[in-house]
């Protein structure tokens, strides 16, 4: 069981998280807290695996609580109304950062990451820093659909959004392959969990269909490796 402590000064927010987590059979709520002091006191019991932690609390910032929890609680997911603290939150070692009002699907994804970490499948979360206007966005590999090349840049596709990063395909492939990405062309890389179908094309090439309907070309140079890898994918 994932023993979870919910820390938020708004009772309705805590109640909503409890309702959303009711659909997660391996999650048990071991406590609630509305202040940093109460959260630390409950965490000191030593039986908390995960804290869902708000940032704006009456007696301080949830970010300041993290340094006191390092030996007590292995995993922290921040849930807040403010996006401005995301960089600092990840610097503290947070596993995820959700914005209020919490989207149920996004919460499920966060819990999946918690399970992977608890199972030892993820030792360290790799994030890609990309510029979006005057913001630096930190992308999780699990959120990326595929990557292709545009001149001296790589285009990182995340749903309907595309981010540019000045990098080489070889370097990015090396960074992302441990997270379940495969080269399908000298200029493209795909998240294998987005693959829906593979069909033949001319000249021994193939066409790859993703779950959102995107079609990508697989060159014959990489087709054999892709076909050999697919049956072994989880």
Q: Across residues 95-106, what is the average pLDDT?
A: 90
Q: How many residues does the chain have?
A: 234
Of all residues in the chain, the percent with pLDDT exceeding 70 is: 93
Angle ∠(160,165,194) on CA atoms, nearest 5: 40
Could you report the per-residue pLDDT of 166-210, keeping only the tens digit for each?
A: 888 888 888 888 778 889 998 999 998 888 888 887 777 789 999
Q: Average model confidence (pLDDT) for the chain? A: 86
3, 29, 35, 108 from 25: Cα distances, Å: 12, 11, 27, 12
Helices (H), the chain: 11-21, 36-43, 62-69, 86-91, 104-118, 169-176, 220-229
Of residues 97, 146, 102, 153, the one with CA closest to residue 125: 97
Distance CA 204, CA 5 (A): 54
Q: Across residues 89-111, what is the average pLDDT?
A: 87
Q: With b meaning 16 or more CB within 10 Å and e meaning fewer, what string describes 60-87?
A: ebbbebbeebeeebbbbbbbbeeeebbe
Could you report the per-residue pLDDT of 138-173, keeping only the tens digit for each?
A: 888 889 999 999 888 899 999 999 999 888 888 888
Q: What is the largest CA-CA distance in the chain?
A: 66
What is the per-residue pLDDT for 136? 84
Q: Which domains does the chain have, with CATH numbers?
A: 2-118 (3.40.50.2300), 135-232 (2.40.50.1020)
């Amino acid at each position: 069981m994932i023993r979870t402590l919910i820390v938020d000064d708004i009772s309705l927010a805590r109640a909503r998280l409890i309702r959303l987590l009711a659909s997660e059979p391996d999650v048990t709520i071991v406590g609630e807290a509305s202040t940093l002091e109460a959260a630390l006191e409950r965490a000191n019991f030593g039986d908390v695996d995960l804290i869902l932690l708000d940032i704006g609390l009456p007696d301080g910032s949830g970010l300041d609580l993290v340094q006191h929890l390092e030996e007590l609680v292995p995993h922290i997911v921040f849930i807040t109304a403010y996006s401005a603290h995301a960089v600092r939150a990840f610097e503290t070692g947070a596993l995820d950062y959700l914005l209020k009002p919490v989207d149920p699907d996004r919460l499920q994804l966060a819990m999946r990451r918690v399970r992977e970490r608890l199972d030892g499948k993820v030792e360290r979360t790799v994030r890609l820093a990309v510029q979006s206007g005057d913001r630096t966005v930190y992308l999780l590999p699990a959120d990326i659909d595929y990557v292709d090349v545009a001149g001296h840049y790589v285009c990182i596709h995340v749903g309907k959004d595309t981010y540019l990063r000045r990098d080489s395909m070889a370097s990015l492939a090396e960074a992302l392959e441990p997270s379940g990405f495969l080269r399908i062309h000298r200029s493209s890389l795909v998240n294998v969990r987005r693959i829906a179908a593979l069909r033949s094309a001319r000249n021994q090439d193939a066409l790859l269909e993703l779950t959102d309907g995107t079609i990508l070309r697989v060159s014959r140079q990489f087709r054999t490796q892709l076909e050999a890898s697919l049956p072994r994918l989880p």
